[in-house]
Amino acid sequence: MNAVSGYVSHQKPKIDAGTVEAWIADDPDPAAQAELRDLLDRLPDTAAAAELADRFAGPLTFGTAGLRGPMRAGPNGMNLAVVRGAAAGLVRWLAGRGATGPLVIGFDARRGSAQFAAETARVATGAGRAALVLPRPLPTPVLAHAVRVLDAAAGVVVTASHNPPADNGYKVYLGEQLGGPAGAGAQIAPPVDAEIEAAIRSVGPLSAVPLGPPGTVLGEDPVTGYVAAAAGVVDPGSPKQLAIAYTPLHGVGGPVLAAALARAGFDPPAVVAEQAEPDPDFPTVAFPNPEEPGAMDRLLALAAETGADLALANDPDADRCAVAVPERGPGGGWRVLRGDELGVLLADHLIRRGVPGCYATTIVSSSLLRALCAAREVPYAETLTGFKWIVRAAEDLGYGYEEALGYCVAPGMVRDKDGITAALLVCELAAGLGAELRTLADRLDELAAEFGVYATDQLSVRVDDGSEIAAAMRRLRDSPPASLLDEPVTGVEDRADADVLVVRAGTTRLVVRPSGTEPKLKAYLEVVEPVAGPEDVPAARERARAALHALRTETTAALGLW
């Protein structure tokens, strides 16, 4: 198994037909049985043998992102059998830890999500635990909020977030009883993931897992409660004049964001019609991730057409938020803000509002937040990548963000990234600046004049064979660069426990790690360009852009995957 949970190396072992037959006999889904039977019947066809070998190369591993993988029959896929085993292991682990309270279950609009949620509920009730199921496909933050307000032992959300259409996933959140104050309603973190994985492997035959009634399907209270709390992140007395364009990217965020905007006092957004309704095929985008090139094209066209002040996008389960603003000068155009830019803007806004607590980000995010917190005398923390770590940075967390468009702006409400509340807060900030005839871009320039230009970028390569990622990490560890941008390397930090390598040289930083949810290797680049004064900001941005381009070239050569 490579570093990506649920993706195995494409070095295919020989398949044992008896192993497949045993799985078929225990699989509770007749359609999945037929799917595997068809592949068996096609043997010794090479393609069928390779497909079976891949599906049986190992189980879909339960990690800190829970389960995530392609929808297909067999142990190395997302299907009813794998979900039943995961649910049985989870409720067994909860019982073993003495956790009381219900299991709350949410789901998105991907294929299989509703069925997997229903199966999880039946496994929970079969084990004697109450199961509370959210009323329809809803954003992941609604589930995270419900775990807290319903005093649940744990929560499950069936989603693959922004993964490709063929994938689905299974994410677990802990209640306060097991998670503690910093982990109440937060994603699981080690060693809990390994403990649940061990419990899953001990389940035994799926046919022996007791199934109970379907649990209780909740009414609208969890949704209306979330909407009211989300609207509460906005100061009622702040300006609300703002023209917004929005897309949920074929996901489930649209109605909830619209309701929260209305409750907070903003006008309804213009919505990209072709992407407004949930669609598991995500037909208008290559990947349903606002970080991917082209994913926001229709939104930017709508924003230009409607004369919007701000363009917002959520990913399909609405736990991430992307923002674009109009370009200055003749010709218009739109500038998509990087996750680091928005992350620092929101932190700056909350600090100026006097929101107390520790402000946290990750080792792959911009180091500008550290500089901002030091200048404002605000507690700062830096964690490994992932919101499971960010929200546990401090019990008194005031704000957390990661560069991958994830923002926790109200940790007392949702102890996780939340694309709905982030969207509301950026609307408040944009409207407030607009009332002063300023923009988000103006505020970024003001911060650059104060701290310098902190320019970040990312290289990401998707692979078919997971061994390529491990080989690239080995090469980099064995021969790290001696210099970056002609500056001698001053430090190499190898976080082998997290499979992360950090290389620093003067005003340059490079962080390399495998993705935790997709078969990708990621490199995070940062350069810091000093600024002589406000009038030097545009030139400093150009210098930083050129430096980033050169750093991309150096990093590409060092990784050897392109």
Catalytic-residue membership of 161? yes
CA distances from 211 to 26, 85, 286, 359 (A): 15, 12, 39, 44
HSE-CB at 464 with a 13 A cutoff on CA atoms is 4
User: Is 106 in a helix, a strand, or coil?
Assistant: strand
Whether the Cβ atoms of residue 64 and residue 189 lie closer than 8 Å to each other: yes
- The Cα–Cα gap between 527 and 530 comes to 10
Q: Which two tokens stand for residue 239?
A: 């300006």
- The Cα–Cα gap between 172 and 156 comes to 5
Give me the catalytic one of 5, 9, 161, 365: 161
- The Cα–Cα gap between 327 and 231 comes to 28
Whether the Cβ atoms of residue 347 and residue 400 lie closer than 8 Å to each other: no
Q: Any residues with CB less than 8 A from the CB of 329 and at least 6 apart, and which? A: none
Q: How many CB atoms lie within 10 A of CB 333?
A: 12
Q: Which two tokens stand for residue 309?
A: 């002040």
Beta bridge partners of 157: 106, 171
**Pairing relationship of beta strands 154-158 and 244-247 according to DSSP bridges:** unpaired
Q: Which two tokens stand for residue 4?
A: 């990506």
Q: Which two tokens stand for residue 550?
A: 């050169």
DSSP for 328-357, written as a single string: SSTT--EEEPPHHHHHHHHHHHHHHHT--S
What 8-state DSSP symbol labels residue 501?
E
Q: Which two tokens stand for residue 401?
A: 């963000």
DSSP for 138-183, written as a single string: --HHHHHHHHHHTT-SEEEEE--TTS-TTEEEEEEEE-HHHHTGGG
Whether the Cβ atoms of residue 137 and residue 117 lie closer than 8 Å to each other: no
Q: Which residue has the tokens 């100026």?
A: 352
Side by side, the strands of the sheet bearing 491-495 are: 453-462, 520-529, 508-514, 500-505, 491-495
Beta bridge partners of 73: none
| Active-site annotation, residues | 161
